[in-house]
């Protein structure tokens, strides 16, 4: 076995199922081995950000590892934003990068694709990965690979592996996976004792499920736990889509001032808020009407548990949930909650389309034909998605990078075999929409709804006076045929409903529905978000005046709303 084959077998053994990538001359040798060995299938895309987003989405929906394979320099540095997104949102993407051969690294010549030094790339990746290795020693490579892949799975974050191009086919031993890290049983017991005591003494405990619940494959167990503990469950904005397929008492999604008032009250009035795997970030919490004192919550995140001022280090979420299930017996009683209701029954008339109509039309479609997984970009499309029935959803709800939606949809279809629905704004589609051209050769056929308001509308809501937010009206539907799909532009609710039905009935080619939305028309959720942010951040400010980001208090402690654009 050679070094690349050893790596590929290890990736597979750690849960990778496919590789997304773009080669280059530093990468050709190991790409050759990927193709010839057939250990993992390879999907090439058009632009490295798309590679990263697809690998990230595949990891999110299927569990295990996503793999993004690129060349040195121009390739790997083009991937940086997507890997930073995966780092922030805890998606275990393995970055494989070709690298200069050991001998050429010492030739004295500057090498093409080199930035400042040959190590610049490695150092840049130190900031956005949780572990790294350069495989320049075949004897050490198996242990290095084992360590790095174990880190990716344990931390649920990206890692970086560089393959010098003259190392890829040297003989190498197979990788022996690292044993799971031991958990201190006494610490786990003490932690569970305190946690259960806190919940038992709370009058209105609530469980907020965060993304780690999915990252560590715990959705069914957490659903069971919440029933046994009779805990109403909410997700955060970022965690939307979690537990959609689990049998959980799921009330809805917490979005503070932007969300359903009942859910906001449930969370903000809780005296026992259990944050399981929830990233404590501004998009999740800064929209709180009433301050959530984080010190009074119980937080399990990043392999530790904090209650009040006690911190239990080295308690993995999976171990915590397993132990809680051992300690809390099933009662046999059925516990459920009132659930958020979502709009259904689009009045398919000749009036123009508002974002919320798209949510209604999608709900109607899914009610008739079954749920689809959603890949969503940032922009009003993501706020609109909050009005769509609970279904699997991948979106950059915290890091908030544009360009995620389309390539993530490709990653979802590759990973699950299910046909996804992609929601994307015109601005974001301009960034990565071209990746749809790769659907034909892999047989992917997502339904893509482009919210075309000829605008960077979310930015406009925060700074209405700037004319740079006006975009030209690109004719996206016309581009679909050239890329191997079908496209249709719709202006009315009637046309929207008909186009979605037709798209759903047409398999085998991607279907692009370009929904024309007048500038300034927002989803109900974004409207509430904007109004709430203004109200919270600038008391006394007349409605309709843009808040100025720099004057708004930031920081989580105070849970003040920040007039941020998610950008």
* Residue partners of 202: CB distance under 8 A and separation at least 6: 270, 271, 272
Distance CA 215, CA 323 (A): 18
Quick check: 42 and 18 in contact, CB under 8 A?
Answer: yes
- CB 170 → ligand TPW: shortest distance, Å? 39
What are the CA-CA distances from residue 488 to residues 168, 473, 485, 502 (Å)?
Answer: 47, 15, 10, 10
Question: Can you tell me which of 23, 29, 205, 427 binds ligand TPW, judged by CB under 6 A?
Answer: 427
> Binding of ligand TPW at residue 426 (CB under 6 A)?
yes
Of 68 and 428, nearer to Mg ion (C-beta) is 428
Per-residue tokens: 263: 């859910």
At 396, phi and psi to the nearest 5? -85, 65
The residue from 455, 523, 525, 537 that contacts Mg ion (CB under 5 A) is 455
- Stretch of residues binding Mg ion (CB under 5 A), selected from 76-84, 274-282, 319-327, 423-431: 423-431
For Mg ion (CB under 5 A), the number of binding residues is 6
Binding residue for ligand TPW, selected from 50, 403, 487, 532, defined by CB under 6 A? 403
Q: Which does 144 bind (CB under 5 to 8 A by kind): ligand TPW, Mg ion, none?
A: none
Contact (CB, 8 A) for 510 and 443: no
Query: Using CA atoms, how far apart are residues 274 and 328, in angstroms rounded to an integer?
Result: 16
Radius of gyration of the chain (CA): 24
Scanning residues 225 to 284, which ones bind ligand TPW (CB under 6 A)?
A: none
CA–CA separation, 76 and 69 (whole Å): 8
The sign one gets for the Cα dihedral 225, 227, 230, 236 is positive
By beta-carbon proximity to ligand TPW, the closer residue of 258 and 263 is 258
Binding mask 456-475 for Mg ion (x = CB under 5 A): -x------------------
Residue closer to ligand TPW by CB (options 229, 458) is 458
Which residues sit opposite 207 in a β-bridge?
A: 233, 274
- Options 209, 385, 400, 480; binder of ligand TPW; rule CB under 6 A: 400
Q: Taking Cα atoms as reference points, which of 330, 329, 339, 386 lies closest to residue 358? A: 386
Report the partner that residue 459 touches, choosing among Mg ion, ligand TPW, none (CB closer than 5 to 8 A by kind). ligand TPW
Q: Which is nearer to ligand TPW, 443 or 464 (CB)?
A: 464
Q: Measured from the CB of residue 523, what is the shortest distance to ligand TPW in angstroms?
A: 9
> Residue with structure tokens 């499920």?
209
Question: CB under 8 Å to 542, separation ≥6 — which residues?
Answer: none
Q: Return the residues of window 362-391 that contact ligand TPW according to CB under 6 A.
A: 378-380
Fill in the DSSP letter of residue 418.
P
Q: How far is the CB of 60 from ligand TPW (least distance, A)?
A: 19
Question: How many residues sit close enough to ligand TPW to count as binding (CB under 6 A)?
Answer: 21
Strands 66-70 and 19-21: parallel
Among residues 31, 53, 285, 456, the one that binds ligand TPW under rule CB under 6 A:
456
**Binder among 50, 210, 272, 425 for Mg ion (CB under 5 A):** 425
CB-closest chain residue to ligand TPW = 425
Residues that bind ligand TPW (CB under 6 A): 378-380, 400-403, 425-428, 451, 453, 455-459, 565-567
């Amino acid at each position: 076995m050679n070094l690349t084959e050893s790596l590929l077998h290890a990736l597979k053994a750690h849960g990778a199922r496919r590789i997304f990538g773009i080669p280059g001359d530093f990468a050709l040798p190991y790409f050759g081995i990927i193709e010839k060995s057939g250990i993992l299938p390879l999907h090439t895309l058009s632009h490295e950000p798309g590679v990263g987003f697809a690998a990230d989405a595949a990891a999110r929906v299927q569990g295990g590892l996503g793999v993004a394979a690129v060349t040195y320099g121009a390739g790997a540095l083009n991937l940086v934003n997507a890997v930073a997104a995966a780092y922030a949102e805890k998606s275990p993407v393995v970055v494989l990068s070709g690298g200069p051969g050991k001998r050429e690294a010492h030739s004295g010549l500057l090498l093409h694709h080199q930035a400042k030094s040959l190590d610049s790339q490695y150092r840049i990746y130190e900031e956005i990965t949780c572990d790294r290795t350069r495989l320049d020693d075949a004897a050490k490579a198996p242990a290095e690979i084992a360590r790095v892949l174990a880190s990716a799975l344990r931390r649920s974050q990206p890692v970086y592996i560089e393959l010098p191009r003259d190392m890829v086919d040297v003989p190498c031993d197979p990788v022996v996976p690292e044993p799971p890290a031991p958990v201190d049983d006494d610490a786990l017991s003490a932690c569970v004792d305190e946690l259960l005591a806190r919940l038992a003494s709370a009058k209105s405990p609530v469980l907020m499920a965060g993304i780690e619940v999915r990252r560590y494959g715990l959705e069914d167990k957490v659903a069971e736990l919440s029933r046994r503990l009779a805990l109403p469950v909410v997700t955060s904005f970022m965690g939307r889509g979690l537990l959609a397929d689990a049998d959980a008492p799921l009330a809805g999604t917490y979005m503070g001032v932007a969300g359903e008032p009942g859910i906001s009250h449930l969370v903000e009035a809780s005296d026992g808020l259990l944050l399981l795997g929830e990233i404590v970030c501004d998009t999740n919490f800064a929209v709180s009407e009433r301050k959530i004192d984080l010190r009074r919550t119980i937080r399990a995140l990043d392999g530790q548990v904090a209650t009040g001022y006690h911190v239990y280090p080295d308690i993995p979420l999976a171990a915590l949930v397993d132990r809680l299930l051992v300690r809390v017996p099933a009662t046999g009683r059925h516990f459920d909650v009132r659930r958020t209701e979502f709009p259904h029954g689009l009045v398919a008339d000749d009036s123009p389309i508002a974002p919320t109509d798209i949510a209604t039309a999608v709900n109607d479609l899914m009610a008739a034909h079954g749920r689809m997984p959603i890949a969503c970009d940032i922009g009003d499309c993501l706020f609109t998605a909050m009005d769509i029935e609970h279904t699997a959803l991948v979106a950059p709800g915290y890091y908030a990078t544009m360009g995620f939606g389309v390539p993530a949809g490709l990653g979802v279809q590759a990973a699950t075999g299910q046909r996804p629905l992609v929601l994307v704004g015109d601005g974001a589609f301009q960034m990565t929409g071209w990746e749809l051209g790769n659907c034909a050769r892999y047989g992917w056929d997502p339904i893509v709804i482009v919210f075309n308001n000829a605008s960077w509308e979310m930015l406009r809501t925060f700074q209405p006076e700037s004319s740079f937010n006006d975009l030209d009206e690109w004719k996206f539907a016309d581009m679909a045929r050239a890329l191997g799909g079908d496209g249709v532009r719709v202006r009315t609710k009637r046309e929207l409903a008909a186009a979605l039905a037709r798209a759903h009935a047409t398999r085998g080619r991607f279907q692009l529905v370009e929904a024309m939305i007048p500038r300034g028309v927002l989803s109900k959720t974004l409207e509430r978000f904007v109004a709430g942010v203004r109200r919270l951040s600038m008391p006394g400010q007349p409605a309709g005046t843009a808040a100025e980001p720099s004057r708004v208090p930031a920081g989580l402690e105070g849970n003040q709303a920040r007039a941020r654009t998610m950008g």
